Amino acid sequence: MQGQLSKMSCRADTEVQYTLALGDATQDMNALIGQRVRLEFLQKIICQHCGRSTKKSFSQGYCYPCFQTLASCDLCIMSPDRCHFHLGTCRDNTFAEQFCMQPHRVYLANSTGLKVGITRAENLPSRWLDQGATQGLVIMTAATRRQSGLLEAALKAHVSDRTQWQRMLKGPGDVLDLPAERDRLLNLAADAIALIQADFEPGAMALAATAETMHFTYPVTQYPEKVKSYNLDKTPVLEGTLLGIKAQYLILDHTVINLRKYTGYEVALNVL
């Protein structure tokens, strides 16, 4: 197989199922676990927006001009509470209407312990799978991305919004009581949430009281004791035995690699 890398598609099942698309071909990645594989960077990177060749990838798949101008690369994508669409200063109103002015979910996940996050409604559970979460629970709904970002910011005062990727790749972690954590955090942040809700129309945000915790198991035969990340830019040929997949990482016998990091890279994948 040969083509431009993008993140693996995934779906929840008894074990999370992964598929990699390269060019016109697709590969069931779960079927390769236990086999020796070779991934080679062919020294070509293509911007995922404009299609031009670029020497360096920015923000997972863009050339520098697109990185500087696209609304999808704006600071508010990483900090949704700083969304400025309502101020009339968005880079691309069409993008904002399709991406930001849509229903969002505020959730708790267990990836390397408890974390809070947000995503559009249609992105679950794939958002959790991309983070390597073993559990996920929607706790609130919001009408827009900015509203969900403000709620997330209020909760971040009491819980992390980060995944410690090295820890995540060392094992499945402990099981958490997410409904109990939800109740605890919503109580701690109650005053801040009430202030946020007061700035918007009634019903724009609501508790997801009937949501149930989802659980995920990843196709990993052996977790690494020491996590060492592979860099295709420095060493363009990677060979090893595939021991598992979690989040967007391939876990090999001597290293791990985040395929999503190399979006737009032209690569060849072979089974040895």
**Percent of the chain at pLDDT exceeding 70:** 100
pLDDT digits (tens, 9 = 90+) for 9-60: 999 999 999 999 998 999 999 999 999 999 999 999 999 999 999 999 999 8
What is the rounded radius of gyration, in angstroms, for the C-alpha atoms of the chain?
Answer: 20
DSSP H or E run through 66? helix 64-69
pLDDT attached to residue 78: 87
Q: Which two tokens stand for residue 127?
A: 């958002």
**Does the model's pTM come out above 0.85?**
yes
Question: Best-predicted range by mean pLDDT among 87-91, 135-139, 222-226?
Answer: 135-139
pLDDT attached to residue 133: 97
pLDDT digits (tens, 9 = 90+) for 184-214: 999 999 999 999 999 999 999 999 989 999 9
Could you give the CA distance from residue 101 to residue 186 in angstroms, rounded to a whole number? 24
Residue 248 φ/ψ, nearest 5 degrees? -110, 25
Say yes or no to pLDDT of 112 above 90: no
Buried b (16+ CB within 10 A) or exposed e, 202-233: eeebeeeeebebbebebbbeebbeebeebebe
pLDDT digits (tens, 9 = 90+) for 219-231: 999 999 999 999 9
Q: What is the mean pLDDT of residues 104-115?
A: 95
Q: Which residues touch 34 (CB under 8 Å, ≥6 apart)?
A: 221, 241, 242, 243
DSSP H or E run through 126? helix 126-130
CA distances from 259 to 126, 196, 232 (A): 16, 37, 10
Q: How far apart are the first and last CA of the chain?
A: 13
At residue 154 the predicted structure's pLDDT band, cuts being 50, 70 and 90, is: very high
pLDDT attached to residue 184: 97
Peptide bond into 224 cis (omega under 30): no
**DSSP three-state, residue 192:** helix
At residue 182 the predicted structure's pLDDT band, cuts being 50, 70 and 90, is: very high
Q: Which residues touch 38 (CB under 8 Å, ≥6 apart)?
A: 237, 238, 239, 268, 269, 270, 271, 272
Largest separation between any pair of C-alpha atoms in the chain? 60
pLDDT digits (tens, 9 = 90+) for 234-248: 999 999 999 999 999
Question: Are 12 and 129 contacting, i.e. CB atoms less than 8 angstroms apart?
Answer: yes
Could you give the CA distance from residue 102 to residue 144 in angstroms, rounded to a whole number? 5
